[in-house]
A = this chain, B = another copy of it.
Amino acid sequence: MFSLNSNYLKLKAGYLFPEIARRVKEFLEAHPEAATDLIRCGIGDVTEPLPRAVCDAMHSAVDEMGIRETFRGYGPEQGYDFLRKLIAKHDYQFRGVTVAEDEIFISDGSKCDGANILDILGKNNRIAVMDPVYPVYVDTNVMAGRTGNMQDDGSYEGITYLECNHENGFVPSLPQEKVDIIYLCYPNNPTGAVASREALTRWVEYARSHHSLILFDAAYEAFIQDPDIPHSIYEIPGARECALELRSFSKKGGFTGVRCAFTVVPKELLARTAQGGQASLHPLWNRRMTTAFNGVSYITQRGAAALYSEEGQAQVQSLITHYMGNAALLREAVIAAGLTVYGGTNAPYLWVQSPLGEKSWETFDRMLHDHHIVVTPGSGFGSAGEGYFRISAFNSRDNVLEVAKRLSLR
Q: Which B residue sits closest to A51, measured CB to CB?
A: B66
Contact check, A62 vs B55: say whether CB atoms are below 8 A apart: yes
User: A11: which B residues are within 8 A, CB to CB?
Assistant: 287
Contacts of A273 in B (CB 8 A): 3-4, 6, 9
Interface centre among A58, A114, A259, A300 (most CB of B within 10 A): A259
A 208-238 binary contact with B (CB < 8 Å = 1; else 0):
0001110000000000000000000000000
Bound form: Cα–Cα A235–B4 in Å: 25
Report B-chain residues with C-beta under 8 Å of the C-beta of A295: 257, 259
Is A2 part of the binding interface, using a Cβ–Cβ cutoff of 8 Å? yes
Chain B residue with the shortest CB-CB distance to A2: B180
Stretch of A115-123, A190-198, A330-338 that contacts chain B:
A115-123
A72 to B47, CA, bound (A): 8
* CB <8 Å contact, A109 and B212: no
How far apart sit A259 and B213, CA to CA, in the bound complex (Å)? 32
- Contact A272:B3 (CB < 8 A) given known A66-B49, A294-B108: yes
Most buried by B among A4, A124, A144: A4
A274 at the A/B interface (Cβ < 8 Å)? yes
A73 touches B49 (CB 8 A): no
Enumerate chain B residues within 8 angstroms of A144, measured Cβ to Cβ: 119
Of the listed stretches A162-170, A277-285, A362-370, A381-389, chain B binds A277-285
Which B residues lie within 8 Å of A272 (CB)? Answer: 1-4
The residue that A257 contacts in the complex, of B46, B55, B181, B298, with Cβ under 8 A, is B298
Expressed in whole angstroms, the Cα–Cα distance for A296 and B294 within the complex equals 13
Contact A67 B45 (CB under 8 A): no
CB distance from A151 to the nearest CB of B (A): 19
Task: Let me know if A112 is at the binding interface, CB within 8 A.
Answer: yes
Given the interface pairs A143-B292, A291-B143, the reply to whether A71 lies near B47 with Cβ below 8 Å is yes
Q: How far apart sit A144 and B288, CA to CA, in the bound complex (Å)?
A: 11
Decide: A140 near B291, CB < 8 A? Known: A45-B74, A55-B65, A66-B55. yes
Q: Determine if A275 is an interface residue (Cβ-Cβ < 8 Å).
A: yes
A6, A47, A136, A274, most chain B CB atoms within 10 A: A6
Residues 38-93 (chain A) with a chain B CB within 8 angstroms: 43, 45-50, 52, 55, 58-59, 62-63, 65-68, 71-75
Residue A297 is within 8 A (CB to CB) of chain B in the complex: yes
Nearest CB of B to A314, in Å: 16
Q: Nearest Cβ in chain B — how far from A219, in angstroms?
A: 12
Please name all residues of chain B whose beta carbon is closer than 8 Å to the beta carbon of A293 when the two chains form the complex: 109, 111-112, 115
Give Cα distance in the complex from A62 to B259, angstroms: 13
Is A14 interfacial (CB-CB < 8 Å)?
Answer: yes
Using CB atoms, name the residue of chain B closest to A136: B291
Asked if A278 and B49 sit within 8 Å, CB to CB, the answer is no
Nearest B-chain residue to A114, judged by Cβ = B292
Among all A-B residue pairs, the 7 with the closest Cβ atoms: A3-B122, A115-B292, A1-B211, A6-B274, A2-B180, A4-B271, A45-B73
Q: Identify 13 residue pairs between A and B in the complex whose beta-carbon atoms are under 8 Å apart, listed by A's number.
A: A1-B270, A2-B180, A2-B181, A3-B271, A4-B273, A43-B74, A47-B73, A49-B71, A108-B259, A109-B293, A109-B294, A140-B291, A259-B297
